[in-house]
Amino acid sequence: MAQQAYMTETDNGGSGPERRGPGLRRLINRLVAGWRGDPRIWRRGIVVATLAVLLALVMVLHARIPNTIGNLGSLTETFLPWLGVFIPLLVLLGLVRKSATALIAVLVPSIVWLNLFGSLLVDKTGGGGDLTVATHNVNADNADPSGTARAVAASGADVLALEELKASALPTYEKELASTYRYHAVVGTVGLWSKYPMSDVKDVDIKLGWKRAMRATVATPAGQVAFYVAHLPSVRVKVEAGFTARQRDKSADALGEAISDEKLPRKALLGDLNGTMNDRALNAVTAQMRSTQGAAGNGFGFSWPASFPMARIDQILVQGIEPVTSWTLPATGSDHLPLAARVKVDTSAS
């Protein structure tokens, strides 16, 4: 009987509550027990710790990564948030190696990532506002322009920008949007549709040799707003040159100069900029305008590619206008997702 009692106690492990506790607690307890008294926990995992520090340095010093080789700096900045996926992997490697050094080191990139992008994980959407705007790169090869036009019109946008308008599809967009928007203008491959009167429509020269940017004044109920619509050149990845974006960068500088010269104090830029807010190549634009997603969104608001969004290269940027909420719209026949934002026009801007 004594032996039977001893075996029963042993089976229970002498720690019934611990065995019945949450699985994570049991795992931590086993790891601690396995590492206790083992001085190698500080010597192991040096490679993992080094990788963690390097990851943190890339995120902190991304602006110093040169663009001279394949535009590597801009490529890193385009997908900068995704560097965070390496953090759980490093944690796992640290646990496998039973390395306290590695796990402590992983705290460094974790803190850096949260400092850069943690605010985007907070829901900043609000209510109110007096103007809804939307933008969509409809894709020149869109097989369903009618459905795409109806979808973006149903967003409730008061002002709608479309990019990559194919000449043969333009009549379809004009027909489908006519009942919702009384006013519209098209310049080259970009267009602006509005429920409110438009004036001073003109081409914006972004140094391409063909028209992919425009400007118009929209007389909103809260006052005049200068709307810019732009589709900057695509960024290319070439075998011999890597990630190249010279033409995009040159066009971004020209667009930024045009916006800077704008006389109206309230401005909005809608379009496909082929770059994110982190991309230094767009500084001429982003340095003077606010992202509606960053100020009033919920999450990253990735817009491309529509099948698995990985980057927000489409933008709604404002100046003299207060973002209230920002969101992505459901997919259409395009390879981009449409974007929308609700804003409050600052009547005190002058």
Query: Mind listing the pLDDT tens digit for each residue in 9-28?
Result: 444 444 444 444 566 576 56
CA–CA distance from 10 to each of 2, 13, 212, 255 (Å)? 12, 5, 77, 75
User: Mind listing the pLDDT tens digit of every residue in the chain (350 residues)?
Assistant: 444 444 444 444 444 444 445 665 765 665 565 555 566 777 789 999 999 999 999 999 999 999 887 778 888 999 999 999 999 999 999 999 889 999 999 999 999 999 999 999 999 999 999 999 999 999 999 999 999 999 999 999 999 999 999 999 999 999 999 999 999 999 999 999 999 999 999 999 999 989 999 999 999 999 999 999 999 998 765 444 444 567 888 999 999 999 999 999 999 999 999 999 999 999 999 999 999 999 999 999 999 999 999 999 999 999 999 999 999 999 999 999 999 999 999 766 65
Strand-pairing partners, residue 266, are none
The predicted structure's pLDDT at residue 13 = 46
C-alpha span between 145 and 100 (Å, rounded): 57
Amino acid at 108: V
Query: Mind listing the pLDDT tens digit for each residue in 250-306?
Result: 999 999 999 999 999 999 999 999 999 999 999 999 999 999 999 999 999 999 999
Percentages (nearest 5) of helix, strand, coil residues in the chain: 40, 25, 35
Domains of the chain: 37-121 (no CATH), 131-345 (3.60.10.10)
CA–CA distance from 167 to each of 139, 232, 320 (Å)? 12, 18, 34
pTM, 2 dp: 0.84
Max Cα distance, the chain (Å) = 99
- Alpha carbon dihedral 51, 57, 62, 64, in 10-degree steps, equals -120
C-alpha span between 323 and 122 (Å, rounded): 15
C-alpha span between 160 and 340 (Å, rounded): 9
Query: Mind listing the pLDDT tens digit for each residue in 123-138?
Result: 999 999 999 999 999 9
Amino acid at 48: V
Length in residues, the chain: 350
Q: Give backbone dihedrals phi and psi of 331, rounded to 5 degrees, phi first.
A: -65, 150
